[in-house]
Amino acid sequence: MKHARIVFEGATHDATERDGQLLLADGRLVAPDAVTAWLPPLAPTARPRTILALGLNYADHAKELEFKAPEEPLVFIKGESTLTGHRQFTQRPADVQFMHYECELTVVVGRTARHVKRGDAYDFIAGYTVANDYAIRDYLENWYRPNLRVKNRDTCTPLGPWRVDAADVPDPMALALQTTVNGKVTQSGNTKDMIFDVPFLIEYFSSFMTLQPGDLILTGTPDGVVDCRPGDVIVTEIEGVGALHNTILAA
Amino acid sequence: MNLPISGTVYGVLLNFHGEVQALEPQMNQPPYKAAPRAPILYVKPANTWSAHGAAIPVPARVPQVEVGATIAMVMGRDVQAARSSDAIDSVAGYVLMNDLSIPHASFFRPPVKFKCLDGFLGVGPQLRAAAEAGDPAGFALEVHVNGVLKQSLRFADLVRNASQLLADVSAFMTLHAGDVLMLGCGPGRPLAQAGDRIDISAPGFATLSNTLAPEGSAA
């Protein structure tokens, strides 16, 4: 099942997808175009406690950025205020030279996870969504790289549109992934090319910290990142999970 | 767990002059290559939060932990692009924190594996109201490990004072009401190990005490 969190007629609703429409808890069916706003589909909790993100988790992207592939996960943490939803706007700061999207399969944790072995990892996943983990590369200093000025800006992490139940994604490690800018394909890849796959990441994180339901893991992006300018419409799409639309605004 | 904080907790590196001086010889060398131009922040996620009085678990593989005693600002309202002259007005209050880390030498990559272990952020028992606390430049704290004084910090020694730090952080991201921003942990951070008791005290603040316990032992 596909779950969304939307604003409709002035109220926030949890909804599920039915025949291309949104089914509300009160039984009403809403057309996607009638939605006032799509919010990050964060259930099973209203707020994610922890948002973990991977850097350089596809070998081709690591190469593109002139690094050798990492020997252990390169991880950073994001604050909640960077999140926004499907069909929302992301601000490009003034005077920036290079700001790029990153289409990322995102894991939504479903159960408290501590010392989980990779063979059991899928039991701890509630579902998946799509993130667009924008980076503002002008600010990439060599301190806690990538730092929060690059990665933690308001509205710079669109998430959604759906949280798809784990049961509906039989093999998350074989999903086609692509990004279009104004309808033109600029990035295409496959989750099979991750350096550290999803079961590894669950094992890795839960070896030193407890993951809780609703925590998010953004798993990194393949190569093909290009500069995004005000007015550009960016669609980050993952096979079977969803197509996340976002528009760049001048700040 | 009853804590006087709720939002995202941000720490800051190198915000005491003594820390900067200690690292200055390496700042223009690889991997850093240049001095930082903006505040260097990190997040202490919710799994790290420990209440005053709690036993904090230390994994058997970790012989010692580093105590990062500090005072943190708790935001009373959303702060975006604040001016340094009035940024401090958005602070609701201050709280003592015990920001624990596994000792690590490099600040090149985010130190999630070293800073985000369960329980690795002691949070003081009470918020001290901003109106009562006055100018954070007057804050001072002491760290005692097993009753022995190990560190004294004066917040007049900050690279960015509280207002400037708020202005420089809110220039690139919004701090929301309830979010927390630490003022910095200072040089000469004490080391401690399982079995030790850590007390962080500051004039006007309720003392923050935690013990370190071997992971897996009863709290």
| Confidence (pLDDT) at A66 | 59
Give the residue on A whose Cα is nearest the Cα of B59.
A208
Contact check, Cβ <8 Å, B36/A139: no
Using DSSP's 3-state secondary structure scheme, residue B143 falls into strand
Contact check, Cβ <8 Å, A143/B108: yes
| Confidence (pLDDT) at A68 | 65
Give the residue on B whose Cα is nearest the Cα of A51.
B45
Contact A38, A88 (CB under 8 A): yes
Give the residue on B whose Cα is nearest the Cα of A153.
B173
Question: What does the pLDDT average to over B8-19?
Answer: 97
Percent of chain B with pLDDT over 90: 93
| Confidence (pLDDT) at B105 | 92
| Confidence (pLDDT) at B218 | 55
Percent of chain B with pLDDT over 70: 99
Question: What does the pLDDT average to over A40-53?
Answer: 83
Distance of alpha carbon A4 from alpha carbon A85, whole angstroms: 10
Ordered by where they begin, the domains of chain A are 1-39 (2.30.30.370), 42-250 (3.90.850.10)
B110 → closest Cβ in A75, A93, A149: A75
Contact A30, A8 (CB under 8 A): yes
A78 contacts in B (CB within 8 Å)? 43
> Is the pLDDT score of A62 beyond 70?
no
Structure confidence at residue B6 as a pLDDT band (50, 70, 90): confident
Q: Which of A82, A90, A208 to mutate to test the interface with B (most CBs of B within 10 A)?
A: A208
| Least confident window among A59-68, A79-88, A124-133, B18-27 | A59-68
| Least confident window among A3-17, A20-34, A43-57 | A43-57
> Is the pLDDT score of B27 beyond 60?
yes
Choice between B182 and A56, residue whose per-residue pLDDT is larger: B182
Query: Within its chain, how far is the Cα of A23 from the centroid?
Result: 23
Whether B38 has its CB under 8 Å from any CB of chain A: the answer is yes
> Is the pLDDT score of B219 beyond 70?
no
Q: Which of A209, A210, A211 to mutate to test the interface with B (most CBs of B within 10 A)?
A: A209
Determine if residue B25 is left, alpha or beta; phi over 0 gives left, psi from -120 to 50 gives alpha, anything else beta: alpha
Question: What does the pLDDT average to over A237-250?
Answer: 98
- Token representation of residue A231: 């007015």
Distance of alpha carbon A153 from alpha carbon A83, whole angstroms: 9
A148 → closest Cβ in B41, B47, B107: B41
Give the residue on B whose Cα is nearest the Cα of A49.
B46
Q: Where do we find the tokens 């001086």?
A: B21
| Confidence (pLDDT) at A67 | 60
Q: H or E element: which one contains B23?
A: helix B17-27
Percent of chain A with pLDDT over 90: 89
- B9-214, CATH topology level: Fumarylacetoacetate hydrolase; domain 2 (3.90.850)
| Confidence (pLDDT) at A16 | 97
| Confidence (pLDDT) at B217 | 79
Strands A88-92 and A176-181: unpaired
Q: Give the B window 42-81 contacts with A, CB below 8 Å.
A: 42-43, 45-48, 59, 80
ipTM: 0.95
Domain boundaries of chain B, sorted by first residue:
9-214
Contact check, Cβ <8 Å, A153/B172: yes
Chain A: give the shortest CA distance to residue B173, in Å: 5
Give the residue on B whose Cα is nearest the Cα of A143.
B108
Structure confidence at residue B3 as a pLDDT band (50, 70, 90): confident
| Confidence (pLDDT) at A137 | 95
> Is the pLDDT score of A145 beyond 90?
yes
| Confidence (pLDDT) at A69 | 64
Question: What does the pLDDT average to over B215-219?
Answer: 72
B113 → closest Cβ in A82, A149, A208: A208
Distance of alpha carbon A86 from alpha carbon A43, whole angstroms: 15
| Confidence (pLDDT) at B154 | 98
The 10s digit of each residue's pLDDT in B32-90 is 999 999 999 999 999 999 999 999 999 999 999 999 999 999 999 999 988 888 899 99
Size of interface A-B (CB pairs under 8 A): 102
